[in-house]
Every structure is written in C-alpha cells, then in structure tokens.
Amino acid sequence: MEVSLNWIKKYVDLSGSTDGRPDDDRQALSQALTSLGLEVEGMRVVGGLPGVVSAEVLECARHPEADKLSVCQVTDGTGTYPVVCGAPNVAKGQKVLLAKVGAELPGRAGEPPLKIKKAKLRGQESHGMICAEDEVGLGESHDGILVLDPSVPVGLPMDRIPGLGDVVFELNITPNRPDALNHTGVAREIAAKLGKPLRYPEAMLNEEGADIGGLVQIDLQDIAGCTKYVGRVIQGVKVGPSPDWLVKSLKSIGKRSINNVVDLTNFVLLELGQPSHAFDLGRIKGRKVVIRKGRDGEKLVTLDGVERKITSEDMLIADAEGPMVLAGVMGGKDSEVGPETTDIFLEVAYFNPATVRRQGRRHGLSSDSSYRFERGVDPLHTAWVADYLAGLIARWCGGKVAKGRLEKSSPEHPTSPRIVYLRPGRVNKLLGTDLRPGECVRRLEAIGLKLKDDAQARGEEAMGFAIPGFRGDLEREADLIEEIARLGDYNAIPVVLPTLPLVSAGLPPGESLARTLRHHLRDAGLNEALNLRFSSRKALAKLGLAPEDPRSAYVPLRNPLSEEWEILPTTTLPALLNAAAYNQNNQEKNVRLFEIAKCFYHRPEERTDRAPGILEEEMLYLVLAGEWADRRPWSGDPATAGPVEFHHLKGILENLLIATGIKSQYAFPGSEPYLHPVESGAILADLAPPAPGTEILYGSKRAAGWQKQARIGGFGILHPRVLGGFDLKGPVLVAEVSLSGLLAAVPRDRKFKAFGNFSAVSRDLNLLVDESRTHGDILSKMPVSRIPILQEARLNSVYRGTGVPAGKKALHYSFIYRHTEKTLTDEEVNKAQEKLNQELAKDPGIVFK
C-alpha cells in the first residue's frame, strides 16, 4: 500500500525534531515505519526536479535594454547568481523556485525538455531560471513565476518544499494489520513512535434535508454476511470535477480522479480505511436496499464492465428488482453515480471478512474495498464514518444531508470495545525483558488502547485494556505482548541463550544413509543433481510403465504452473534424462549425475481425515552418459577412455553397496520397461522387517518379517525407445534404487572377518564355453561354499580370438587358497582344486583347456 508523506502530515505534526533530526527526515521515518512492522519496500520522491531549489531574489532591476525583462540577483544560500527573468510579478525579497545551471526541466505541454545553461540575454548574464508553475510540472499556470511562502528556507530541493514535493512510501502491510491500510492508521503508528498526538478528522454534519425514512428503506437479510449496514442520503448533489485538494491527494498515491462523489468515497477509504459506496438514489428501484444472498441465474454488470453470474453463495446489495452491487467487492454499472445524479444513497457497512474473501475469489476480483473488508474494518466506527462522509459530500459536492441515518445490524455485531487482560509478569517472562507495568501501559495507550479501572477484575495482577475497533487483531494477552515488544523496538530485547539439558541429537536413519550415499557417490566422481519435484503425464509416459506399476499412480496438481509441471513425480528419471539431454546440447557430453529425490505415490486407500493418502519415498537415481573416464586426456592411451559401459554402472553400484555394508545380489536381466531387455539388472537384498512408516517400493508391501531377495532397484542401459523420447545420444545408463529398501537391507552391525597371515596359493584354470554361457552361470557351478580354504574365485580375462573357436570364449580364472591358521601344502590345494574341477566337469558345456 502507498501512503503520502504530505497526507500523513495532516494527522501528525512532524515539524518538531527528535534525535537532532527533523521528524520528517525521510530515511529516519522509513526506518521507524519498518521498525514498527510497517515494512517500507520502496520510497518515491514526487514533485522534485534535480537542480531546482528554493531561492531568494536579493536584487531585482529593470533590464537596461528590454522593458519586459528584469535582471535579478538570486541566492540559494550557497551562491548568488544573476538571472534574467521575463515575469511581470518578480520582485525583490520574494522566495522563488530557481532552476540552476545544469537542471533539466520537463518543458511545457508539447515542448521538448529544457536544459538550463549559462546564457546572455541582450547582453546580460543569466545563470539560471526563475520558474513558473507550468515549467516545473506543477500546473497549467504561466501567468507569472511561482512565488513561495516567505517562511520557506532557501536552498531546499524542490521536492522538500512544503506543498510542492511529496514522498510516497510503499508499505508492505501484513494481513493482521488492516488498521494500517490507510493514512490515519499509519499516522497513528508514527505518532505513537514519536510520542506525539494524533489529529484525527472530525465529522461536520448538518442534517438539512428531508427525513431519510421517507426516501429509502433498508432490508438486511443476510445478517451472517453483513453484521452492520448504515445508510445516509444526500439530496441535491452536483456531481462534477473534484476540488483541487482532492485531486492532488488521490493523485499523490496514483489514484485517478473520477468525480467529486466517487473521489470522496475513495478519499475516506484511503484516509480511514473504511470502504463505502455511493448509489444514485434515483436508480434504486422501489427505493429499497436489500442486503441478501444471490439467486442462481441472476446477473450483474460490475463497474469494470464484466457481466457476473451470481450464485446463491454470493452476497448482494439489491434493490426491489435485482442486484446492484457485489457486496464489499465491486459496484454495478446500473446504480453508478453519474453526472445526472442528484440524490445519493450512501452505504457504509461491516461485511464479514470471510464472506467478502470468498466472494472476491469466486469472481476473480480484488478491489481496494474487498482488500480491506476481508482483513476486517473497524466494526465500531460504521455510523460515524457515514456521518463524516455525508458531511464531506454535502460540503464539497453541494446538497443537503437528509435527516437521520438508517442502521441495521446483527445482534452479533459488537457495540463496545473488547477487553483484553494483560499480566505484566507474563510480558517479561515471554519476552525476556524487565519492563515496568507503567511502561507497558504507556506503549499500549499510545496506539489507542485504554486501561480500564477494574485492574483487579480477574483477581490477579492483570490489567484490562479496552481495544479500539480498528485493532481487531488484538484478541489475547499474547497480542498485547507483541504490541509492547513492537512499540519498544525488537532490537532492545536482550540476546540470551536458552539453558537446556544436554541431549544426544542424532540424525534419522534415512538421513544418515542418504549422507553416506551422497558422499560416496561424490567421491566416485558423480555430480549431485537437484530437480524440481514436478513432472508431467507426457514425460512419465515416455518410460512406458505398466498401468499397475506403482509409479503409474501419480498425484496431479489442481493448480499447476504449467503442463510440464502438472503432476508430482513418481520417478525423477524423466527430469534427470532431460538434464542429461540439456547437457549434451551444451557440449557437456560426459554426464554423471545422481540424485536422491522424493517421489510421491497415490494411495487413496490410506487417506484419512489427516493423512493425505500419498506415499512419499526417497529414491536414488544415477544417470551416466558420454565417456566414463577422462583421467588421461593427453596420454593417448585408448584403454583409459571410451563410452560408458554397463559394467561402469554396475561397478559404481557394487561399491555403493559395499559402502553401506549391503551384500550385493542381482537378477539379470532387469525387468524395467525403460531399460534394455538384456543389458539390465535388478538389485536384490534381504530386507529386515520395515520400520513403521517405511515401505519398500519394489517389494511386496509392508512385509511382516525378513524378506529374502527383495528387489530394491534396477539398473542398466536405457532402452533405445526411451533414449529417442528424451532426444539423448547414447548409450545412457541409469539406475533407480529405493532408499527405504537400502535402509532395510543395511546390516545392523558389521563384524571383523579374520584373515590369516599365512601365504596364499593360487591355481589357474582356462575354461572354454559357448558364447551364451555367462560368468555368473559358470561361477554357480563351482562348489565355492564347500571348499573352506577357497578364498576367492577371480575372473582374470574373457578371451575371444586366436585359438578359440568361433562362437566360443575362453574364461581364465584364478583360485586363491588360504588357510587362516597354517600354510597350505601342495597336496591340500591340489585336492581342493580337484574337487572344484570335478564339479565343473559335470557340466558338458565346460571344456578344460
């Protein structure tokens, strides 16, 4: 909201000084407002021109060569300048506006800007210009120079000269402070801060017209939506242009003048915060004003020219025939005050904040009125404002105020100030201050609260305060304590560390695991990504998930920002693949991203009064593309570079599982529809019973006991169809792992495993197998667990080429034997190896080389 400093000065005297600075010091005022909680977001100087200052005419003599010109000596306090002036009214001793050399004036209407330079006018030096109103944008007059009040000091920049310049503060008023949404309200705060009185306007009312009862009737039907409705009538009004002061006041904060009546209602709204509405009485059919609910099918063309469909939820001001106003929000075209209007029905009301708010939202409308009604206007002030405004209209628009006012109200409407009790001890306990009760009272009374006499009313050290109607937000002791803190400056409250018992503050298990994974993957050379948690049906569809897949149960947003962000993600893969494509398009070919992201699954069956029926799961994603290693960029060694392969990703996952202590188990190939049907795998793990609240995405839901070989993730080469869908250049490798799955698989404790210091013995074996046989398959034929001294069966190479027939491959294995307590003899090792060989030999597909 914008407030004008000139306007504020009508209600509080800022001429004095505090702290050695004038009270209208703009910076100091701005800081004071912010420290009061009325945050100044911007400050705009109005009516100033750089280089234009107040000055005094010291000498004024006729130009020796031109009758109509004067040669003046003008001072701005720092220097004295010769100025040639053509105005007839210039005279010695005047205070004038001087445009100094270098100043740039906007120029009169239709003329280019005027830059002031040193000049010679008919032989006389002129170092500046004494300005007329129109030359500095203050008005139309060019009758002569603008003569300032003699009290104006010289050297003031134009915007600081009283009556010429102004400062507009842009305030951010929080929703709890409707009282500060107007000039008297802001002035009240400033006055309280400076310890000065507030000069509140007074109503001046002469009821000279007919008796109102014979002119119009009010029927308040919707007493829930409108708890108080006051009407006044002014007869014989002349609707026309507003007086100058009114136009200027509105213009100062950027409001357009419409006509004198409408301008006055707007003025009062901006002055007091109370909206009002002026009707053309002649257009009120049946001379009956009805405050009622709308009826389905009714229509109303509002002032903005839009035809509104009225529903039974709306609250209307209607006449005998139909709707006139969308109550509290916007008036209708038909009852608008226009040039031909003579009699005015004036409405001042208290509308229920929630009703107005719903009404505005329903019609997508917000107005100065609805903004204030939905925050709450002063309920005790309604009739007074009607009197005040009627008086203003009669004064400035002519006409006579009809005798009496019409008032209807709900029994619920407050008629006297609320009393709120305050215990001074509580103030200090909650703020950590040491304030005396008297100081608390002083601060609260400065903003209009009144200490009641019944100090002992509650049988304790409580003080009762009468809360003015404009402070509807002050309902409880805590609210008063905040006011005391606020008015005394938060920065004056001591800085004290709390004294609390020592506790062991751990991290939740999921957080610890996520940290381990993040740090491990960082060290493994991956870059952590972060995606917005929004996705789209289109992006999700690219993965080709089955309808029964839990990731197909997405949650749509009711008000998404865009089509790309219309649902909550059930997987972050589409976002990461988009990021990979974005990087590829930016010549960043080597993509190594990981992300631990929350995904959201629709679980309507779990919905309760409080639970939203949405499962939130953290998932780990890896995306690799481009070359895996660029570690020897200049060595020319081909072995160190090349496109990322399946086994790079598998190696990362294997190390990751080792880092968490999880024994890796896999199933090949994987079954994710977005992965290569062959070059993919699933990660399996033995899962502990899930802790409350955890659920394993890939396993069966909420397994009761240990679950063996549950799927907790998938990985592999991205399916070419998906690759194309995301405009990626391949190969791209991805992995998706459930964090709660990992968490349930992490062993509770890790134990040291003894190793012997006795030397190891190895035996090598070359096996010739069909190309279709896998390492895992051959390994499964080896009786590894039945040979205790066999420590490791290590695959050394997979060879195809010379000596190996086509369609076959040679697998070279090394078997490492070691006993923890003794040195093995050759015989023992040979015996063990023989046992292994015999087992392998049972498979006719395995040939020993």
Partner 1 sequence: MARWAERLAGIFPWPGRSTVKRPTGPESSNPMHPIEEIRVRLDADMQKLETLIADGPGAGPSEGDKALPKQFEDLKVKYTGKKGEISGLLRSMGTLAPEARPEFGKLVNELRDYADARFSALQAKIQEVEIAGSLSGSSLDATLPGYRVPAGSLHPMTQVREEIISFFQGLGFEMALAPEVDNDWYNFEALNIPPDHPSRDMHDTFYVDDKVVLRTHTSNVQVHYMETHRDQPIRIIAPGFVYRVDNDATHSPMFQQVECLVVDKDISFANLKGTLFLWAKHMFGTETTMRFRPSYFPFTEPSAEMDVSCYFCKGSGTLDGAGGAPGQPCRTCKTTGWIEIGGCGSVDPNVFGKVGWDPEKFSGFAFGFGIDRITMLKYGIPDISHLTRNDNRFLKQF
Please state the length of the chain: 849
Site for partner 1 in 506-525 (CB under 8 A): 506-508, 510-511, 515, 518-519, 521-525
Shortest Cβ 596–partner 1 spacing (Å): 9
How many H helices and E strands in the chain?
A: 19, 43
Which one, 359 or 680, has the nearer CB to partner 1? 359
Which residues lie closer than 8 Å to 148 by C-beta, 6 or more apart?
Answer: 54, 94, 95, 96, 97, 161
Which of 305, 438, 494, 776 is in the footprint of partner 1 by CB under 8 A? 494
Site for partner 1 in 700-719 (CB under 8 A): none
User: Tokens at residue 203, please?
Assistant: 């109503």
User: Tokens at residue 434, please?
Assistant: 């040491």
Question: Pattern of binders to partner 1 over 544-583, x per CB under 8 A?
Answer: -----------xxxxxxx---x--x-------x--x--xx
Q: Are strands 808-817 and 707-718 parallel, antiparallel or unpaired?
A: unpaired
Which one, 524 or 793, has the nearer CB to partner 1? 524
Shortest Cβ 561–partner 1 spacing (Å): 6
Q: Which stretch binds partner 1 (CB under 8 A): 103-111, 173-181, 207-215, 334-342?
A: 173-181
Which of 306, 320, 457, 478 is in the footprint of partner 1 by CB under 8 A? 478
Which of 293, 533, 808, 835 is in the footprint of partner 1 by CB under 8 A? 533
Q: If residue 330 lies in a helix (H) or strand (E), which one and from where to where?
A: strand 330-331
Site for partner 1 in 342-401 (CB under 8 A): 353-354, 357-358, 374-375
Question: Pattern of binders to partner 1 over 264-303, x per CB under 8 A?
Answer: ----------------------------------------
Shortest Cβ 578–partner 1 spacing (Å): 9
602 within 8 A of 550, measured Cβ to Cβ: no
Site for partner 1 in 427-466 (CB under 8 A): 429-433
Which one, 524 or 847, has the nearer CB to partner 1? 524
Which one, 496 or 546, has the nearer CB to partner 1? 496
Which of 300, 529, 653, 743 is in the footprint of partner 1 by CB under 8 A? 529
Which one, 135 or 566, has the nearer CB to partner 1? 566
Q: If residue 251 lies in a helix (H) or strand (E), which one and from where to where?
A: helix 244-252
Which one, 41 or 149, has the nearer CB to partner 1? 41
Which of 534, 688, 756, 828 is in the footprint of partner 1 by CB under 8 A? 534
Which one, 14 or 481, has the nearer CB to partner 1? 481
Shortest Cβ 110–partner 1 spacing (Å): 38
Which one, 298 or 477, has the nearer CB to partner 1? 477
- The answer to whether 486 contacts partner 1 (rule: CB under 8 A) is yes
- The answer to whether 151 contacts partner 1 (rule: CB under 8 A) is no
Which one, 78 or 491, has the nearer CB to partner 1? 491
Shortest Cβ 452–partner 1 spacing (Å): 22
719: helix, coil or strand? coil
- The answer to whether 526 contacts partner 1 (rule: CB under 8 A) is yes
CB burial of 742-770 (b: ≥16 within 10 Å; e: otherwise) equals bbbbbeeeeeeeeeeeeeebebebebbbe
Site for partner 1 in 10-49 (CB under 8 A): 34-37, 39
Which of 496, 546, 704, 806 is in the footprint of partner 1 by CB under 8 A? 496
User: Residue 93 and residue 137: Cα distance in Å, rounded?
Assistant: 24
300 within 8 A of 332, measured Cβ to Cβ: yes
Shortest Cβ 504–partner 1 spacing (Å): 8
Give the angle 706-708-710 at the CA atoms, nearest 5°.
110
Which of 109, 500, 639, 754 is in the footprint of partner 1 by CB under 8 A? 500
Q: At residue 675, what are phi and psi to the nearest 5 degrees?
A: -105, 160
Residue 650 corresponds to which amino acid?
K
Which one, 483 or 672, has the nearer CB to partner 1? 483
Question: Pattern of binders to partner 1 over 597-616, x per CB under 8 A?
Answer: -x-x--------xxxxxx-x
Which one, 268 or 597, has the nearer CB to partner 1? 597
User: Residue 828 and residue 256: Cα distance in Å, rounded?
Assistant: 104
- For the chain, the straight-line distance linking the first and the last C-alpha, in angstroms and rounded, comes to 90
User: Tokens at residue 289, please?
Assistant: 């004003």
Binding-site size for partner 1 (CB under 8 A) equals: 98
Which one, 559 or 757, has the nearer CB to partner 1? 559
Place of tokens 């294995």: 813
CB burial of 551-564 (b: ≥16 within 10 Å; e: otherwise) equals bbbbbeeeeeeeeb
Residue 383 DSSP label: H
385: helix, coil or strand? helix
Which one, 479 or 828, has the nearer CB to partner 1? 479
Of 284, 286, 387, 295, the residue nearest 345 (C-alpha): 284
> What number of other Cβ atoms are within 10 A of residue 538's Cβ?
13
- The answer to whether 726 contacts partner 1 (rule: CB under 8 A) is no
Shortest Cβ 215–partner 1 spacing (Å): 36
User: Residue 289 and residue 300: Cα distance in Å, rounded?
Assistant: 16
Q: How far is CA 837 from CA 159, 772, 813, 815, 846, in A?
A: 101, 21, 12, 11, 10
Shortest Cβ 820–partner 1 spacing (Å): 34
Checking 451-457 for CB contacts under 8 A at 24+ apart, the result is 452/419, 457/421
Which one, 430 or 451, has the nearer CB to partner 1? 430
Question: Pattern of binders to partner 1 over 75-104, x per CB under 8 A?
Answer: ------------------------------
Which one, 172 or 825, has the nearer CB to partner 1? 172
Q: At residue 773, what are phi and psi to the nearest 5 degrees?
A: -75, 145
- The answer to whether 177 contacts partner 1 (rule: CB under 8 A) is yes
Site for partner 1 in 620-639 (CB under 8 A): 628-635
User: Residue 440 and residue 446: Cα distance in Å, rounded?
Assistant: 10
Of 696, 541, 532, 710, the residue nearest 617 (C-alpha): 696
84 within 8 A of 120, measured Cβ to Cβ: no
For 829, half-sphere exposure in the C-beta direction (CA atoms, 13 angstrom radius) is 18
